[in-house]
Chains A and B, each alone.
Chain A
Amino acid sequence: MSLTAISPTMALDVLADLSTWFPRQDSQVAPESVYTFALASSIKLLVVFTLYMLGVAMLTLAERKVSAWIQDRRGPNRTGPFGLLQPVADGLKNLMKEEVRPADADKWLFIIAPMLAFIPAMLTWAVLPLASPLPTPWGLISMSVASLPVGYLFMLAISSLGVYGMVLAGWSSNNKYALLGSLRSSAQMISYEIALGMSTIPVLLLAGNVSLNAIVEQQAHMGWNVLSLTIAWFIFLVAAFAETNRLPFDLPEAEAELVAGYHTEYSGMKFSLFFIAEYANMATMSGLMSALFFGGWDIPFTRWDNEGEFTVVKTLATLATFAAKTGVFLFLFMWVRWTLPRFRYDQLMTLGWGIMLPLALGYILVIAAASLALDALGVPRGVPFSLSLLVLNIAIGAVLLWWGDRGKLLSPASARLGQVELARRRARSAAPSSMAMGAPTARTIAVAEATQDQSEPALVGAGTVSDEVTN
């Protein structure tokens, strides 16, 4: 039908009939009219945003409670019953605190950066299917804020925006610690985003669709992806830790090294936004992990939620299931944080580019080949198909564990420079004046030192009184 053939009223009817926009799949449903759609979307937006922010605030309390539990402490218990009002107190404190902006900071970027960190973390949540569709008198309402047909691509696109917040925060602060932190975070997040994206390609291969609703549906029929794509889930998990800057990958804000990393100069509510963004990212990644690998809102061991008419009870039950799955991963995030030490920068890069990316790429090939082979063998797409893949995964996992060489991955001292290289790099800069204040010709000293280092390596850097005596 050509556009010229449509009268204005007809065009409105076509637009209002959203069924032409959405394929009528089981759970990916469109409401009957554009008005219902607008109203339902607004309500969903409000409810999800409120619950999400509340949840994130509670997450900060949960983190402190979990860490206290792990560390034999009590945790916050003074503000309200069981310390439940602690997030409120924290929020009020941050609101009332003075906001300090360094004199030499880039004003606008400094202000925009916390928002850039915060908003993408929330946006991703919009495409996640939270529960089975809700039946209403006005039609089925899909239980995701925006059930985009390209939900997965949207997720990838938006989650890669988060890095801008950190880079700009570090750069605009005009602070060396912050700059180093932002450099680390940009390198880290870009590296691990690739592994993250690659690890989800097998999910798409199995689902044959980029809509998150369809991915959840597929898992309800075939069994959860964590069984058929265990290795991909593992890569996703590690990359998710890196993407959210949580231990053991919290190098951008490694407080022992870089004070507070990229948000060293931030205070008050701006700092709070970074803090919220971290937890929001955690929640988003946990939700994604549930949706992509753990069946989303699918209730395990029953087909009750997937068959027959949608009901309100089903919606609530599936919502609870999804929340429970997400909660488990949030707990995992916290558990790991209070257990493991921190990686070093070069180890992190080696892990990302040397292990995770090749593994993810190879795994895509393996899964694609295996799917083709299973289809050719006539294995039906269903539980037998998943179980066959599970066997394959166990085999690959065993090989990985067998060959997994901790020594190669975390070669600790590999990054140390030799004496000659050290002398060469030193000679590139003048002797800094805060080190050798008032030195007449700083550059000559640096050069003299460099040559001295080569001839007398025993003297390198040890400018102590004992040296003076022995010489």
Chain B
Amino acid sequence: MSKRTIEMAVGTAGIDAYGQPIRAPLSVRSQGALALEAPYEPELESDHMLINIGPQHPATHGVLRLVLELDGETVVRCVPHIGYLHCGFEKIGEYRQYNQIIPWTDREDYLNSIGNNVAFVLGAERLFGIEITPRCTVLRVIAMELSRIMSHLVWMGTTCIDIGAFTPFLWLYQERENLYNLLEGWVGARLTTTATRVGGMAAEIPDGWMDGLNAFIRNFPKTLNESDKMLSKNGIWMGRTVGIGALTAEEAINCGMSGAMLRASGVAYDVRKDFPYLDYETYDFDVAVGTSGDVYDRYLVRVEEMRQSIRILEQAVQRLPDGPLNVDDPRVILPPKTKATSQMESMIHHFKLVMEGPRPPIGEVYVPVESPKGEKGYYLVSDGTSKPVRWRIRPPAFVNLSAIPRMVEGHLLSDVIAINASIDIVMGEIDR
């Protein structure tokens, strides 16, 4: 193990001479004391320049900080610093009932909040051993695919801005606005949806909601194609993205990548196909796979994923069955209020569910789903009480981001921005 690797692993937060926290690795011997004496701006012995991209910078998506050592404009070293948005979600989850954790899943990958809601309850339901209703399954598929499109829209728009094309950003955000209106109509919230419950959904879709969804399915491909036309064959866009930050399939696998980052490198791994959940195996859709693993291929893969999501949505709208939304299981879902006032058992269930919360059997479960960023998994350990003893998120963006030094070193400063955009990070998920 090299010295540097040790330092990276041991790194702790220090305070610099100006009282600012340094999210920099300290060696074991020098923790504390040396950090206080550390120079505010390190003097490099050559003509290299140290530059901070982030945490406050228009190009970083969230509060990512990249310390770059530049030789001219060429990046010779890149060290990412994370943790500026650490909220301790996983620890908080250990003090919350299962349904109370759902609002925290909104806030980690906040561009994909409803998808996280679904993913978390999928894990919890496997822990509880519950089979959800067919209607709920289809509605959750709709929720996940809408969520994928929303997240990809933000990614595409911000990537456009990072590479200098401003206009597609606003076109795409208009569509995202339509989607948020749909979500608002369904669950009342736009960003922090908290749309699911263990055993079902928080709300049934309102009357006429499907018309809105159908209108979106009809209109969205036009906007997407228009924006895509502005970029994918544009000489400048291609010049900025083709061959930039390329990873081979082997490298991508070794870095633990997933999602569009992995598929752009030519590995056709999609959780929806390989470990199906929510009956994804019964839907007809293709997995977009790139060849070169550069920024351009990631772009193409994600655009194609949005088109495939529309295909899935069309099928889901077709097959949405009538019937109950929530499972008929008083262990997790409240019985009707009218019964609580007339039947003793129902009243007890109301009391137990409200005061204690649903109690799963002892066990542990890891359920991965294909989030817009990659393989997102929720790992839950239950000791039989109504709160998990351990809740752990596998954040795809964190793993994908860990390869950024490998991708940017040797490239120019402008390429750092393009590569960073192509990873599609959300710091809420990375810092948790």
Interface residues of A (CB under 8 A from B): 67, 70-73, 176-177, 180, 247-248, 250-251, 254-257, 259, 338-347, 406, 409-413, 415-419, 421-422, 425-426, 428-440, 443, 445, 448-449, 452, 458-468, 471
The distance in angstroms between the C-alpha atoms of A316 and B24, with both chains bound, is 67
> Closest A-chain residue to B158, C-beta based?
A256
In the bound complex, do residue B50 and residue A432 qualify as a contact, i.e. CB atoms below 8 Å apart?
yes
B362 at the interface (CB under 8 A from A): no
B59 at the interface (CB under 8 A from A): yes
The distance in angstroms between the C-alpha atoms of A419 and B359, with both chains bound, is 55
The distance in angstroms between the C-alpha atoms of A435 and B34, with both chains bound, is 14
The distance in angstroms between the C-alpha atoms of A425 and B74, with both chains bound, is 10
> Closest B-chain residue to A418, C-beta based?
B410
The 9 tightest CB contacts between A and B, nearest first, are: A342-B164, A410-B239, A413-B243, A438-B30, A461-B405, A463-B8, A417-B410, A438-B34, A433-B42
Interface residues of B in 401-427 (CB under 8 A from A): 402-403, 405-406, 409-417
Known pairs A256-B59, A449-B4; A435 contacts B414 (CB<8 A): no
Q: Which A residues are in CB contact (< 8 Å) with B42?
A: 432-434
The total of chain B residues at the interface (CB under 8 A) is 84
B161 at the interface (CB under 8 A from A): yes
B209 at the interface (CB under 8 A from A): no
The distance in angstroms between the C-alpha atoms of A415 and B242, with both chains bound, is 12
In the bound complex, do residue B5 and residue A468 qualify as a contact, i.e. CB atoms below 8 Å apart?
yes
In the bound complex, do residue B242 and residue A413 qualify as a contact, i.e. CB atoms below 8 Å apart?
yes
The distance in angstroms between the C-alpha atoms of A327 and B270, with both chains bound, is 52
In the bound complex, do residue B414 and residue A344 qualify as a contact, i.e. CB atoms below 8 Å apart?
yes
The distance in angstroms between the C-alpha atoms of A259 and B58, with both chains bound, is 6
Known pairs A256-B58, A341-B163, A463-B405; A439 contacts B45 (CB<8 A): no
In the bound complex, do residue B244 and residue A413 qualify as a contact, i.e. CB atoms below 8 Å apart?
yes
In the bound complex, do residue A461 and residue B5 qualify as a contact, i.e. CB atoms below 8 Å apart?
no
Q: Which B residues are in CB contact (< 8 Å) with A468?
A: 1, 5-6, 8-9
**19 pairs from A and B in contact (CB 8 Å cutoff):** A177-B51, A180-B73, A247-B164, A250-B164, A339-B167, A340-B234, A341-B165, A344-B240, A410-B235, A412-B244, A415-B412, A417-B76, A426-B77, A429-B69, A434-B50, A435-B24, A440-B27, A460-B405, A468-B5
> Closest A-chain residue to B40, C-beta based?
A434
In the bound complex, do residue B25 and residue A437 qualify as a contact, i.e. CB atoms below 8 Å apart?
yes
In the bound complex, do residue A460 and residue B409 qualify as a contact, i.e. CB atoms below 8 Å apart?
yes
Q: Which B residues are in CB contact (< 8 Å) with A347?
A: 239
The distance in angstroms between the C-alpha atoms of A440 and B30, with both chains bound, is 8
In the bound complex, do residue B164 and residue A471 qualify as a contact, i.e. CB atoms below 8 Å apart?
no
Q: Mark B39-80, 1 if CB is under 8 A from A, else 0.
A: 100101110111100000111000000010101011011110
A448 to chain B minimum Cβ distance, whole angstroms, is 7
Q: Which A residues are in CB contact (< 8 Å) with B294?
A: 413
Contact of A176 among B49, B254, B405, B411 (CB under 8 A): B49
Q: Which B residues are in CB contact (< 8 Å) with A344?
A: 239-240, 412, 414-415
B179 at the interface (CB under 8 A from A): no
Contact of A430 among B31, B45, B403, B415 (CB under 8 A): B45
In the bound complex, do residue A346 and residue B412 qualify as a contact, i.e. CB atoms below 8 Å apart?
yes
Known pairs A461-B405, A463-B4; A341 contacts B417 (CB<8 A): no
Q: Which B residues are in CB contact (< 8 Å) with A338?
A: 166-167
Q: Mark B149-165, 1 if CB is under 8 A from A, else 0.
A: 00000000000111111
In the bound complex, do residue A406 and residue B235 qualify as a contact, i.e. CB atoms below 8 Å apart?
yes
Q: Mark B1-40, 1 if CB is under 8 A from A, else 0.
A: 1111111110000100000001011110111001100110
Q: Beyond the given A425-B74, A443-B45, please list 8 additional residue pairs across the A-B interface where CB-CB is below 8 A.
A: A71-B166, A176-B49, A256-B164, A259-B57, A413-B242, A413-B243, A413-B246, A415-B411
In the bound complex, do residue A345 and residue B414 qualify as a contact, i.e. CB atoms below 8 Å apart?
yes
In the bound complex, do residue A416 and residue B411 qualify as a contact, i.e. CB atoms below 8 Å apart?
yes
> Closest A-chain residue to B241, C-beta based?
A412
The distance in angstroms between the C-alpha atoms of A463 and B81, with both chains bound, is 12
In the bound complex, do residue A463 and residue B5 qualify as a contact, i.e. CB atoms below 8 Å apart?
yes
Q: Which B residues are in CB contact (< 8 Å) with A418?
A: 410
In the bound complex, do residue B8 and residue A464 qualify as a contact, i.e. CB atoms below 8 Å apart?
yes
Q: Which B residues are in CB contact (< 8 Å) with A440?
A: 27, 29-30
B203 at the interface (CB under 8 A from A): no
> Closest A-chain residue to B409, C-beta based?
A461
In the bound complex, do residue A429 and residue B46 qualify as a contact, i.e. CB atoms below 8 Å apart?
yes
Q: Which B residues are in CB contact (< 8 Å) with A73?
A: 170
The distance in angstroms between the C-alpha atoms of A430 and B44, with both chains bound, is 6
Known pairs A176-B49, A254-B164, A430-B44; A248 contacts B236 (CB<8 A): yes
In the bound complex, do residue B174 and residue A72 qualify as a contact, i.e. CB atoms below 8 Å apart?
yes
B298 to chain A minimum Cβ distance, whole angstroms, is 14
The distance in angstroms between the C-alpha atoms of A466 and B398, with both chains bound, is 12
A457 to chain B minimum Cβ distance, whole angstroms, is 10
Residue from A254, A415, A437, A468 having most chain B Cβ neighbours under 10 A? A437
The distance in angstroms between the C-alpha atoms of A419 and B410, with both chains bound, is 8
In the bound complex, do residue A461 and residue B1 qualify as a contact, i.e. CB atoms below 8 Å apart?
no
B253 at the interface (CB under 8 A from A): no
B238 at the interface (CB under 8 A from A): yes
B221 at the interface (CB under 8 A from A): no
Q: Which A residues are in CB contact (< 8 Å) with B26?
A: 437-438
In the bound complex, do residue A71 and residue B171 qualify as a contact, i.e. CB atoms below 8 Å apart?
yes
B88 to chain A minimum Cβ distance, whole angstroms, is 19
Q: Which B residues are in CB contact (< 8 Å) with A256?
A: 58-59, 161-164, 417
Contact of B7 among A339, A346, A426, A436 (CB under 8 A): A436
In the bound complex, do residue A412 and residue B256 qualify as a contact, i.e. CB atoms below 8 Å apart?
no
